[in-house]
Amino acid sequence: MAGESLNRIDDTVLVREAQRGDRAAFEDLVRRYDQAVLRLALRMTGSEHEAQDIYQEAFLKAYRNVGNFRFECSFYTWIYRIVTNLCLDHLRRKQVRREDSGVVVNADGEEFSVIDHTADERANANPERDLLRRELGSQIGRALEKLTPRERMVFELKHYHGLKLRTVGEMLNTTEETAKNTLFRATQKLRGALADLR
């Protein structure tokens, strides 16, 4: 808790310096959150190119508008709000059809499974288990595609990023109650789609 307070104080200092034109301060802020931003964009788009584009657009938007930031929320919430909106726009604009869910397109245009790419370094990893895990990952990916963009975003932020629904609501410019209802609908749909696996 003390660490979180300190982090927030540091963010406030950096934001004020960035608002005064200190680009290095802004870059410090970027580095605090950019890995999480890129992770979210990568999961939502399935493409390294598009994830990079969203990353770029989000932080440039933040840079251009940092002068308007009024500390009504944390910088963390603010940047996530920008990214989630960009990801939602992406999901709504594009029809992402993947034969094999969780497939990512890298910068060379090669496709590879997000699950495959996650190196399994556990001492007791074995190929059969890896295969089952990949199959499960594919099915989960297909089930996630059946969600609406908003349902998908709420579920991603809650389940994979561990955010509180109150924060998720702030990021999506809605209420905590709406975020709860959306999570409920998302999990019901996913459980229905994955019922055969259990």
Partner 1 sequence: MKCEWVRQNIVLHVYDELADDARYELDQHVARCTECAAELQAAREFRQMMATVTVAEPTPNLLASSRMRLQEALETAQQGGFWNRLTFDPGVWFRQIRFSPALAAILLLAGFGGGTAATFRVMSDRAGRDPIVDKSPSPEEANITGIRSITPEPGTNRVNIKYDTVNTKETAGSLNDARIQQLLLFAAQNNTNSGVRVDSVDLLKQRLNDSRVREALVYALRYDNNPGVRLKALEGLGSYVPDDVRVRDAVLETLSSDSNQGLRTEALRVLEPVRADASVRAVLERLAVKDQNRFIRDQSRVVLAQLPEID
Q: Which of 7, 52, 85, 178 binds partner 1 (CB under 8 A)?
A: 52
| 29 makes contact with partner 1 (CB under 8 A) | no
| Selection from 28, 50, 26, 29 nearest residue 38 by Cα | 50
Residues 128-167 that bind partner 1 (CB under 8 A): 133, 136-137, 140, 158-160, 164-165
Piece of 1-9, 13-21, 75-83, 85-93 that binds partner 1 (CB under 8 A):
13-21
Could you give the CA distance from residue 140 to residue 98 in angstroms, rounded to a whole number? 12
| List of residues 6+ apart from 41 with CB closer than 8 A | 50, 51, 52, 54, 55, 58, 83, 86, 87
Binding mask 72-101 for partner 1 (x = CB under 8 A): ------------------------------
Could you give the CA distance from residue 64 to residue 152 in angstroms, rounded to a whole number? 28
Could you give the CA distance from residue 122 to residue 166 in angstroms, rounded to a whole number? 35
Q: Which of 2, 20, 72, 109 binds partner 1 (CB under 8 A)?
A: 20
Instruction: Identify whether the C-beta of residue 106 lies closer than 8 Å to the C-beta of residue 48.
Output: yes
Question: Which stretches of the chain bind partner 1, using CB under 8 A?
Answer: 19-24, 26-28, 30-31, 34-35, 38-39, 42-43, 48, 51-52, 55-56, 59-60, 63-68, 102, 104, 107, 114-115, 117-119, 121, 125, 133, 136-137, 140, 158-160, 164-165, 180, 183-184, 187, 190-191, 194, 197-198
